[in-house]
Amino acid sequence: MGYLVNNLSLHGQFPDMDSFGRSVREIMAIRSLVISSGLSVYCHRQMLLCNVATDIPLSKAVNCLTHDEKRAFLLWIIQHGPFWDEARCHNSDDWLEAKLDIVTDSAVAEAAFFNLRGINRSLISFSPSDWNYSPIDVNHISDEGESKKTSILNYWEKQQIENALKENPVRIDSWQLLGDAVQAQCSNLTFTDETFAPLTGHPFSENAAVRILFICNTLNKLKACFNEEGQRTAEGHEIYQNFFTGKKENGGRGALFSDSSDSEKKEFSDEMTFRIPGLENKAIFCPWHGKVQTPQFRVHFSWPMRHDEKTYIMYVGPKITKS
């Protein structure tokens, strides 16, 4: 299950910037709730071009937000995503219509295309809007003129999402769902297509999944703990003290995160070196890892962590340094 922001719900309808600001805050609250449940909220890279009011595109309207609100919103829709248009399911020549209007190339069409193939996708809409109703019925008309109908659930208030998640809670019961949940929740970290591949073939362990999720969420939080000068904040120092020094984690019985020993680095150097996605000739040596004890799994990541560099999660799987 996943959610797509309905770009058609921005159609120049806001009477003033105050009402637009309230709608953005509601959308961000919905997104936070969805992500905390292990799901993703997809947007479109061109959403900044949508009109919020007459002759006022989203790119200008965001100036009505506070500095922190604007930064968080723009980081999402410009940088973090995820963006459904980067791996879209439907094509520009597919005929999809809702309310007798063509909706091809929109989130409405993309969600409909997924649902027609048995993959559940819902919509999140700005409010007020002409799209504040649910479900949204969409027709897909083939080249032969055959029509297939699907109904998409649509949400525009946080309470609606809360109710939906209570009725259908998300349960992580596979490594695939774990990978989806981790990447949805940890937008400050960078993953590769191979990050979770080492888990394939190993029996699923709920306890290990919970631990891996906690490890990644801790790193994700630490990555956000830098000030404008690039120095670690007080909260960041506390996270480091608690989980990297071993003084508090597990009652002082060892840190959640640690470096590999010198002998392990020498013996398993190749196994702990990973290629950076998109850069064929560059690799990262990642001896630093988060620990899962039962079973013996590890989460290897790039270190040290810096505010102006990506933090890569390169490996989640069985302990590499087993002799």
Question: pLDDT tens digits, residue range 126-165?
Answer: 999 999 999 999 999 988 888 999 999 999 999 999 999 8
Beta carbons within 10 angstroms of residue 91's beta carbon: 10
Res 248 pLDDT > 60:
no
Give pLDDT, residue 254. 62
Give pLDDT, residue 251. 40
What mean pLDDT do residues 265-291 have?
89
What is the amino acid identity at position 187?
A: S
> N- to C-terminal Cα distance for the chain?
40
Nearest one of 1, 97, 107 to 44, comparing CA atoms: 107
Longest dimension (CA), the chain: 68
> What is the chain's alpha carbon radius of gyration, rounded to the nearest angstrom?
22
The percent of residues above 90 in pLDDT, for the chain, comes to 65
Res 323 pLDDT > 90:
no
CB-based contacts of 102, cutoff 8 Å, min separation 6:
95, 96
Give pLDDT, residue 246. 65
Per-residue pLDDT band at 87 (split at 50, 70, 90): confident
pLDDT digits (tens, 9 = 90+) for 43-60: 999 999 999 999 999 999
Q: What average pLDDT is seen over the chain?
A: 90
Give pLDDT, residue 322. 76
Q: Where are the domains of the chain?
A: 2-165, 175-318
Q: CA-to-CA distance for 94 and 185, rounded, in angstroms?
A: 32
What mean pLDDT do residues 165-181 have?
86
Nearest one of 214, 251, 233 to 307, comparing CA atoms: 233
What mean pLDDT do residues 250-261 have?
72
Per-residue pLDDT band at 252 (split at 50, 70, 90): very low
Res 8 pLDDT > 60:
yes
Res 20 pLDDT > 90:
yes
The distance from CA 60 to its chain's CA centroid, rounded to whole angstroms, is 25
